[in-house]
Amino acid sequence: MLKESGFENITIGPAVDTFGGAIGEQSARAFDVFAYAFLATKPT
């Protein structure tokens, strides 16, 4: 979707277990939910 929206140089960082140890951990595990850092640029 980032590429379709006109961004380039898209990179995605490693998965972060943001719900680990939280109440929502079980739901997150059920759908393999992790957080990621995204980086992209608008073309010049």
Partner 1 sequence: MTENLSVDPEALRADVRDKYRDVATNPHGTFHFHTGRTLTALLGYDPVVIEAFPDRAVESFAGVGNPFSSRDLQSGEHVVDIGSGAGFDSFVAATAVGDSGRVVGIDMTPEMLAKSRASALAMEMSNVEFRDGLAEAVPVDDGWADVVISNGVINLCADKRAVFAEIHRVLRPGGTLQFADIANGRPVPPEALRDIDLWTG
The site for partner 1 (CB under 8 A) is made up of: 1-2, 4-7, 11, 13, 16, 18-24, 27, 30-44
Task: For the CB of residue 13, give the shortest distance to partner 1 in the complex, in Å.
Answer: 5
Q: Measured from the CB of residue 18, what is the shortest distance to partner 1 in angstroms?
A: 5
Tell the residue number behind the tokens 């380039």, with chain if given: 8
We find the least distance from the C-beta atom of residue 29 to partner 1, in angstroms, to be: 10
Largest CA distance in the chain: 43
Amino acid at 16: V
Is-contact 38 9, C-beta < 8 A? no
